[in-house]
Amino acid sequence: MSEPQDAAARRAVPPVICYPNDTLPQPDMALYAAARAGAVKAGEVRIDPRDAAAFRVEAGQFFRISSIEGPQVGDLNLWNAGDLTERFYSGKTRALHGTHLARGERMWSSLPSLRPMATITADTLGWYGIDRFGGSVHDVIGTRCDPYTGNLLAGGQYHHCCHSNLTRALADETGLPLHEAESHVHDVLNVFMCTGFTRDTGQYFMKASPVRPGDYLEFFAEIDLLGALSACPGGDCSAQHSSDAASCHPLLVEVFAPAPGALEGWHSPALNGYDRSHGREI
Ligand SMILES: [Zn+2]
């Protein structure tokens, strides 16, 4: 295909950040750190390999996801505990913060709520940065492994993809029928997973996670949360997923409750301020 004469000039136009985020409401990290210092453990849930489990975290509590026995990535879903229609919005979180999340960044909820659900308060893989392949950890670019894509690409019926694991976990926790629970499962935060896009073909890639037992990612719950975490059948995602081929390990979710009064001055974020009239009289 022939190029226009000014092709080079058009390509040389510098990029502009879509959503400059310097006007985003900022979390009070010092207040969170002080509250976390005096917090006590309130519960824990172990996630078996190639399976998922649900957990609940009250607004103002912390939750920590840990690697405990070997390198393992986790697929995280979050819902408003009182309204499953408000759920984590991976795409807008990516637009606001970039492809991978780090300490101080938030998991934002779906429209029309669009508010912080959780804030990352600690990350022992914060040292990783962006590697020479363009890879980094904790992405919001992947979706979740699922049996439909597996069937599309390779045929077969595999039942332990993160999508199915999360579906079973939500159904068990809420009592919803399986197919109803499935409709609430959404694009995830890929905890500990190391991913990026190839520069030459723009394809989504994964590589062995740098996570090791003892590493963790910790969050502050901005609203009452119902969470579900799947220990991906890809294990450390060094080779493949959507099968039983990879070496898999459990994950641990722990919840910590701050001392009474430790969050003085903090309020759970309000629903988004847009009036929802969409230009029509209401
Ligand atoms: Zn998975």
What separation in Å is there between the alpha carbon of 260 and the centre of ligand 1?
38
Decide if pLDDT at 141 tops 90.
yes
Distances (CA, A) of 32 to 28, 71, 124, 251, 259: 6, 28, 17, 24, 12
CB neighbour list of residue 89: distance below 8 Å, 6 or more residues apart? 108, 109, 110, 111, 114
pLDDT in the model for residue 238: 86
Sequence spans of domains, the chain: 43-257
Decide if pLDDT at 203 tops 90.
yes
pLDDT in the model for residue 276: 95
Q: What is the mean pLDDT of the chain?
A: 96
Q: pTM of the full predicted structure?
A: 0.95
What separation in Å is there between the alpha carbon of 159 and the centre of ligand 1?
11
**pLDDT tier at 21, thresholds 50, 70, 90:** confident
What separation in Å is there between the alpha carbon of 173 and the centre of ligand 1?
20
Write phi, then psi, for 180 (nearest 5 degrees): -70, -45
What separation in Å is there between the alpha carbon of 143 and the centre of ligand 1?
9
pLDDT in the model for residue 114: 98
What separation in Å is there between the alpha carbon of 73 and the centre of ligand 1?
8
Decide if pLDDT at 282 tops 80.
no
What separation in Å is there between the alpha carbon of 59 and the centre of ligand 1?
27
CB atoms within 10 A of CB 204: 12
* 37 vs 238: CA distance, rounded Å: 35
What separation in Å is there between the alpha carbon of 148 and the centre of ligand 1?
13
Average pLDDT over residues 19-41: 94
What separation in Å is there between the alpha carbon of 20 and the centre of ligand 1?
31
What separation in Å is there between the alpha carbon of 268 and the centre of ligand 1?
31
What separation in Å is there between the alpha carbon of 255 and the centre of ligand 1?
23
Average pLDDT over residues 228-254: 90
- The residue count for the chain: 282
Distances (CA, A) of 203 to 128, 134, 199, 272: 21, 12, 8, 34
DSSP structure class, residue 19: S
What separation in Å is there between the alpha carbon of 257 and the centre of ligand 1?
29
pLDDT in the model for residue 273: 96
- 105-136 pLDDT per residue, tens: 999 999 999 999 999 999 999 999 999 999 99
